[in-house]
Structure 1
């Protein structure tokens, strides 16, 4: 039974004292034992009370209560994101954003990963958020296609250089932020996404607000306001995919969420039901609202434990096809000149998201299953170098790309692909991928994450510094100051 399907909110003092006296019991279990304080109609069912229930959990959640597997996944999330943010730090998108914002930046409070410049906290959160998403190589919550780390880590990493926190406090906030945005995303997905919203931005702002608010020590009431102010700032449309604007979305979600938490810390108010109210966030931006997804199992079921990491630098729905292409290439020593055609059976979402047949720039290539399959067969990889402008315009890649045929098959799930390669000598090669590498079923190992990190940092950080940065991320729980992560990721001017 959902512990929050009650007719009242919970008594804060009683909950805190019982939780302290009974370690190991979940927030949801303790909540179920509390007597009513003031009536609210069915929180979690028709939605009333959801914002406050979530705020109360965020404020009361302790690092010590996190299961070991959740802490571990939070650390892997941090490591992966820092690597992709360093890797994306010198993309022209960042250069242009820095040039645009530098004249207006405030005090040099926070670092830019992989660079020497320092910006004010708000702009640093935005810029690092852009860097961490520009390659489309960041983490993915597969249930919602949210990229959770970007909005959260970029916000609290910038904040940690101004407002000192320990590594344990930082990791707890990171996990709570990911938990918040993914639960809120669950409540409106897929309808919200299908409408055209970029859910990493629209839900990510809640994660940034929750995580930053946790580090700022917001009260329950202030956290309610922070979530409300976050709800007022949904950002990101799917039309932006394939352009610099896509990475703008998680960057802006980071700075918007931080903005909300800072205002709330000074008692800047909001409606107390901004998530669930009739004219609030969920009802305004989606035709689906399942508020139990936000409140069920708080403290016992962790969406943050379901995070995944990309072995390929493109949209997640292309990964099964890339996996199949690389496997067939390696198993058969395939070369492009042997291939007559490549037939794919895919889920409808694949062509909806990645159906660009003739990408002109690298960013567009990330949303082309045709380019991705071709370059994977030719080069045996689909990292950032395979999505450069030069790779997209390579005549050999284009020639093979034109032989790739993708057809929708309702029997194929989004995480699957059925690939048949017909060779010029008449032979056919077949591969069905049920779960691609990087999925929950076939996760990337710690060693693979480190290799990905080192490859992304190549040419930006010296190898020794990159390895020390990896060690700093793995050791986040032992850090006296979380700001050491950002400092370890910068370069001398």
Structure 2
């Protein structure tokens, strides 16, 4: 392997050719992003961070548009997830692409290909830097997402390989974001900052702003991934298959941290068993002595909030998610929005105990093998247990038409159908119409 991995990566970004299967997957990912971003863009969901951000950064150029779109796409924590990336790739890549496409003539095919390249880069960065990066406290969506969005933008703008190389180096040196901000408005801001940094990196590279043309991504991987990193994984078998196809994008059924989903599914199964006995959900509050949730050691790294103080923090709380699933039978956007917590849910959540299963391999070895086992421990009967693996949870993806309706209940059936059609990007005019949903014309 030659020394300049960054240049080899730039060559692949600029010149590799996605296939039709990858483009179809890209269309689906675009619909999911649209569903979760439009509620904020239309002010249909209360988000104080969004209101403040709009006032601080009015949409005037591609950088501020990327910032705002990135925040909007990640604010609900309902956006896509990529296992190799261990983050949310759509909400960094697509805002950068949409912001740039609004300022120049771009074909629908070029947009889809750039989106695919962004996902490919994201997944490979996640593999190359290893799980150690996330364990160290970095938020991959923010850090690796900056480089992935830059790769996608380089492809969309058809820059030279040398310009792409410099842009990637600029992105690597500006990438940042810590998991310590989970549960606050800074988490979705991470996505916006990453998308904005990508646009800036491309502008600087196109202006021939001085930057190292070699060794920067290698230095980034070594500094942020340590001895576990392997730069060769950025390049090996690129696009075979495309990362947007395998392992592909995962679409969330619940607006909570993906690290809570199999626990929620286990709780819902136990709730159904309870109902089949003719019992009422509110009886959980008195019938349950305590609840245990088991998982591989380290499997609660992302879902780290034990005593949430708001609906935003509750998204990252195994305790609150399990209690909400048991009591309500669903996890809605309203359950995890800004404002006070539901008192009964908080009472039940206080009975949840985390019990890492020390017999299981640590989560860091293979997060895809994660599971949650929820046990309802009663005062007057044997405990009920239900174990759901992560793979079982993602085996049946949510219906994105239904998800769109849940996110945009005020939209008519005709408008929802139109949005779905536009996200297919079957013709260039569809991209122009789609952009009008995301970016308001200057006043």
Q: Quick check: TM above 0.5?
A: yes
The 5-angstrom pairing of residues 246-325 of structure 1 reads 246-277=187-218, 280-287=219-226, 288-305=228-245, 306-325=248-267
Q: TM-score, normalised by structure 2?
A: 0.89
Q: Does 1:66 align with 2:8?
A: no
Change beyond 3 A, Cα 1:491–1:411? farther
* Map of 2:35 onto structure 1: 83
**C-alpha separation between the residues in 1 aligned to 2:318 and 2:140?**
21
* Map of 1:211 onto structure 2: 152
Q: Does 1:430 align with 2:385?
A: yes
Please report how far the alpha carbon of residue 236 of structure 1 lies from its aligned counterpart in structure 2 after TM superposition: 0.7
**C-alpha separation between the residues in 2 aligned to 1:389 and 1:83?**
19
**C-alpha separation between the residues in 1 aligned to 2:300 and 2:319?**
10
The 5-angstrom pairing of residues 138-157 of structure 1 reads 138-157=79-98
- C-alpha contact (below 8 Å) 1:355/1:370 kept by paired residues: no
The 5-angstrom pairing of residues 18-33 of structure 1 reads none
Larger radius of gyration: 1
- C-alpha contact (below 8 Å) 2:262/2:388 kept by paired residues: yes
Please report how far the alpha carbon of residue 378 of structure 1 lies from its aligned counterpart in structure 2 after TM superposition: 1.1
Show structure 1 runs of 5+ residues with no match.
1-41, 103-117
Change beyond 3 A, Cα 1:436–1:371? farther
Please report how far the alpha carbon of residue 488 of structure 1 lies from its aligned counterpart in structure 2 after TM superposition: 3.7
The 5-angstrom pairing of residues 97-246 of structure 1 reads 97-102=53-58, 118-246=59-187
1:340-379 deviations in whole A, cap 9, x for unaligned? 1221111233433323222111111111100010111111
- C-alpha contact (below 8 Å) 1:421/1:429 kept by paired residues: yes
* Map of 1:19 onto structure 2: none
Please report how far the alpha carbon of residue 335 of structure 1 lies from its aligned counterpart in structure 2 after TM superposition: 0.9
- C-alpha contact (below 8 Å) 2:4/2:215 kept by paired residues: no
Change beyond 3 A, Cα 1:481–1:265? farther
The 5-angstrom pairing of residues 338-487 of structure 1 reads 338=284, 339-340=287-288, 341-390=290-339, 393-412=341-360, 414=367, 415-435=370-390, 439=394, 442-445=395-398, 448-459=399-410, 461-473=411-423, 475-480=424-429, 482-487=431-436
The count of residues paired between Structure 1 and Structure 2 equals 421
Change beyond 3 A, Cα 1:243–1:301? same
- C-alpha contact (below 8 Å) 2:37/2:74 kept by paired residues: yes
1:207-243 deviations in whole A, cap 9, x for unaligned? 1111111111101111111111111111211111111
- C-alpha contact (below 8 Å) 1:323/1:436 kept by paired residues: no
Change beyond 3 A, Cα 1:270–1:397? same
- The range that moved more, 325-334 or 174-183, is 325-334
1:363-415 deviations in whole A, cap 9, x for unaligned? 1111110001011111111232121245x522111111112122111344553
Runs of 4+, deviation exceeding 6 Å: 490-493
Q: TM-score, normalised by structure 1?
A: 0.81
